[in-house]
Amino acid sequence: MVFLFYFLSAIMVISALLVVFSKSPINNVIYLIICFIAMAGHYILLNAQFLAVVHIIVYTGAIMVLFLFVIMLLNLNKAIIPQKSAAARILAVVTGGLFFLVLIAATRQTFVITPRYAFTSEIGLVANVGKTLFHEFLLPFEISSVLFISAMVGAVMFGKRDHSVGDD
């Protein structure tokens, strides 16, 4: 099982790197989906079943499909955008690496700490999460619906053709 953790982690990291480095948007989406599926595996490992399911549905099912749709609708795959200059790319890699180092350094102190609480397997179950969600976080939950609506309206507004421009 421990092996499973490392296996999934390796898949995630590799696919994430491929998301960054492969040029075609379609490939990017596919690698990202692989990454997210591995992420769902991690959730299951953590016994967060509800999350795992939601993750698959929302991310892999909805968001990534949305990406795919957009790419296909706009026919983006053909028009491959030139990459940034070599210097900029090297700089990006260096910055990313630095960021990694710094974050590791920042969290290093926590490595020695061991969790104080007993590990219970039940908390990730739908029942527990649902209870917490609808007791403690009821108001944020409702407000998030407002957020959703406004996001939706916003997306529709953006998506509408701008008549004032009227050139195409």
Partner 1 sequence: MVEQIPNINLAWLVPAFPLLGFLVTGLANRKLKHNQAGIIASAMVLLSFLVSVVLFFILRASGQNEATVTLFNWISISGMNIPFALLIDHLSLTMMLIVTGVGALIHIYSIGYMHDDERVNSFFAQMNLFTFSMLLLVMGANYLVLFIGWEGVGLCSYLLIGFWFKNPEYNYAARKAFVMNRIGDLGFILGIILLFFTFKTVTFSEIFVQASGFQVGAPVITLITILLLVGAVGKSAQIPLFTWLPDAMAGPTPVSALIHAATMVTAGIYMIARSSILYNLAPLTLNIIIVIGLATAIIAALIGLKQNDIKKVLAYSTVSQLGYMFLALGLGAYSAGVFHVTTHSFFKALLFLGAGSVIHAMGGEQDIRKMGGLRKKMPLTYFTFLAATLAISGIPPFSGFFSKDLILSKAFEHSIILYILALGGALITCFYMFRLLYLVFFGEQRLAGAHPHEAPKVMTIPLIILSVLSVFGGFLNIPSLFNGDSEFITFLQTAVVSKASEELSHSTEIGLILGSLLLLGLVIFLAYRTFVSKSIIPAKDGEPMPFFSKLIANRFYIDEMYTTVFEKPFGYLSDFFYNKVENSLLDPVVDEIGFTTSRVGTLLRKLQQGNMSFYLFAMVAGILLFIIFILIV
Partner 2 sequence: MNEITSAIQLIPLQHYIILSVTLFSIGMMGVLFRRNIIAILMCLELMFNSANLLLAAFSAYHSDPSGQVFVFFIMIVAAAEVAVGLSIVVMMKRNVESVDINLLNRLKW
Tell which one of 86, 156, 163, 164 touches partner 2 (CB under 8 A). 156
Instruction: From the list partner 2, partner 1, none, pick the one residue 78 interacts with, judged by a Cβ distance below 5 to 8 Å according to partner type.
Output: none
**Does 158 contact partner 2 by CB under 8 A?**
yes
Q: Whole-number minimum distance, CB 84 to partner 1, in Å?
A: 7
Distant-in-sequence, close-in-space partners of 29: CB < 8 Å, separation ≥ 6: 64, 67, 68, 71
Rounded to whole angstroms, the Cα distance separating 69 from 29 reads: 11
CA dihedral over 48, 106, 2, 63, signed as positive or negative:
positive
Binding site for partner 1 (CB under 8 A): 84, 88, 91, 95, 98-99, 102-103, 105-106
Q: Whole-number minimum distance, CB 131 to partner 2, in Å?
A: 8
Distant-in-sequence, close-in-space partners of 136: CB < 8 Å, separation ≥ 6: none
Binders in 71-130 for partner 2, by CB under 8 A: 71, 73-74, 76, 79, 81-84, 88-89, 91-93, 95-97, 99-100, 103-104, 107, 110-111, 114-115, 117-121, 123-124, 128-129
Q: Which residue has the tokens 């940034």?
A: 84
Instruction: From the list partner 2, partner 1, none, pick the one residue 126 interacts with, judged by a Cβ distance below 5 to 8 Å according to partner type.
Output: none
∠ CA 103-124-56 to the nearest 5 degrees?
75
